[in-house]
Structure 1
Amino acid sequence: MIPKFLLEKWADSNGLIWVKQKQDLKEGVRNIRDVGITDFYTFLATDGQLDSSMEELLSVVEGQAARVLEHLNNPYSVSTTLTPEQFEHLATFVAFQMARSPRRRREYELMADWYGKTMAAGQLASNITEDELRTLEFVPHQNEHISTIGPMANTLTDLLMDRPFCLITIDRPLFLIVACHEHGTVLT
């Protein structure tokens, strides 16, 4: 999930970006407000009401990170040194990006499917066979994945806070090609 403030860096003055969709490989110009997913982290609370507290939290985390990145990218700023609080904002943002990625969600779904099939295999009723079980897919409710994001992001933030930080400024557009060979990686 790419936050809007990052998409804005790539957009033209009308908020348009070139998009190639992974699902159907369609390409074209779209407005950044039409690219993002809305209410993806709104969940059904135990009282039966929709709860957008995760969306609100992500908005705060992204806003703090946007201010840090704006500071780092400001050509008039004398210092690129971050305060401990700014570093934490950046680490928290990266941690949430890692914890809420579509890949992470898919991994969670695959683990739930495997667990469901493993538990059901030993408990099969006489009306379902092993072959039929293989065709079933156990999918957890989205609330299950959402409930793991915060704790995982907290753990990742702690780990990232111990990592070094480096700002690299590229003064002209470059094209980076990474080629992996049996004798090592070559960067050009």
Structure 2
Amino acid sequence: MGNDRHFSFKKAQIENFLKTEFKKKFKSNAKISLRKRHKFIDEVTCKIAKRFGKNVLVLIDFSKNGFCSVVSPVETESTEKGKLIKSFSHPQVFYTSHCVDRFSERTQAQENCVIKLDAFFGKALSSYGENDGFLACPDGIFAYDLIEDRLIIKTYINLDLLSDDQIKQFYGSGMISMLPREYATKDIFGADFILADEHEEFLGN
């Protein structure tokens, strides 16, 4: 119940904040172009993330003068690993606040981080079992713990931050299709390192 009351209070604060921002930006009832809508959404989501947290999803109805629906993760809890934030899409997945902060920083995500985290994490689930404690998606690596049938996502590491050895570890022959196209080359002599060679079976290796 405490969490429900806190969310209701937070929701009211966000709605009032958004109404104020909407009135400052759009002073008439004229039709609002898509370009202006996108710009406004980018601006207010950044402000809301800084003021109220990156685990808030705001849906803005421009036909109703900025009326919004505020959605927050169903559940948060404090543990020895810090604050855990429940995924929107995956009921048994929780992100640590450290993971949310690192993901926001490393992907430069100013909008709702949990929504974007879920999208990245959904792609990473197919790599489960390849590397114990880690999941790989095309953009980077998630570190996790499996505790009492729950996946606790501890942090996120950008692909650009991985060493060559780590890329080999996480994106070996079984996961090579996860790598972005720019990491591949048709000329084997132009490669920094080799994850898989389609001709190696004919070379006796």
More strand, by proportion: 2
Return the TM-score normalized by structure 2.
0.22
